[in-house]
Amino acid sequence: MPPSPGSSRRWPKAVPGSRPGSGGVTASQRGLVLHAVLAIGCLCLAVPFLTTVFGGPVGYLLSLGLYWLGFCVPVVFLHLGGRLARLYDPRLATAQSWVAVVLGLQVALVFAAGLLPNIGTIPLEAFALALLLALVNAPLEEAAWRGGFLELFADRPVLGFWLCWALFTAWHVPLALAHGIAYEGGWPALVGGAAGLGLIWSAIAWRTGSIFWVSIAHLFTNLVTFPVLIARNGFV
């Protein structure tokens, strides 16, 4: 019988404050961190360039494509290899039944703060584009960030947790450099929101040993934030 999510037979106790592994940082761990740092550095140059040359909306979409193809997809296929499927285990132990409640509340709060006040001004085309982007972005990001660091840093959970959170937050800095793109609440809301949500999602992923539930939360979060971004900046 396979171990349940969070079982020590499959994952170490991977929550902030737990004891890290005693071994040194491995080549695969260094490779993932280096890949993330290089991707963020390149995007700091690429995002303002693309949004200046092609305009805000087109440049922004090109930047997302570059991020997906340059970081997320390679992490899934090169760093994780065939280990991705087990990261999507949907089972929760009885003591983890709070996960769905917490994530549902998180999505509801984001909806109330962002989409609800603007819902009457957003065209259907914006919702359609938001759905398309969310279906690509959410699973790719969760697989690359939470999935990559959860799997490769399984023997050093504390280090993996904080590196994942810091680098996931940092990747939103290049988006703040986009020309011709206005964010609800400005760049502090963009980067601060990524930090807050990233902390919640990482804590749950490390506690459950799975990215299944946080991927769903990420998808719905994108679905209630992307339409405002799209409509406000003339993507459609």
Q: DSSP class of residue 80? A: I
SS3 letters across 4-61: CCCCCCCCCCCCCCCCCCCCCCCHHHHHHHHHHHHHHHHHHHHHHHHHHHCCHHHHHH
Residue 87 belongs to some domain of the structure: no
Residue 192 belongs to some domain of the structure: yes
Per-residue model confidence as pLDDT tens digits over 118-153:
999 999 999 999 999 999 999 999 999 999 999 999
- Position 23 scores a pLDDT of 61
Residue 201 belongs to some domain of the structure: yes
Residue 16 belongs to some domain of the structure: no
The H-assigned helical ranges of the chain are: 27-53, 56-67, 73-74, 98-110, 124-142, 148-152, 157-170, 172-176, 186-208, 212-232
24, pLDDT greater than 50: yes
CB atoms within 10 A of CB 180: 15
Domain count along the chain: 1
| CA neighbor of 137 nearest in space, from 220, 38, 48 | 220
C-alpha–C-alpha distance, residues 115 and 226, integer Å: 9
Residue 219 belongs to some domain of the structure: yes
| Contact indicator for 94, 204 with CB cutoff of 8 Å | no
Could you tell me the residue range of the domain that residue 44 belongs to?
27-82+95-232
Per-residue model confidence as pLDDT tens digits over 83-125:
888 899 898 877 788 999 999 999 999 999 999 999 999 999 9
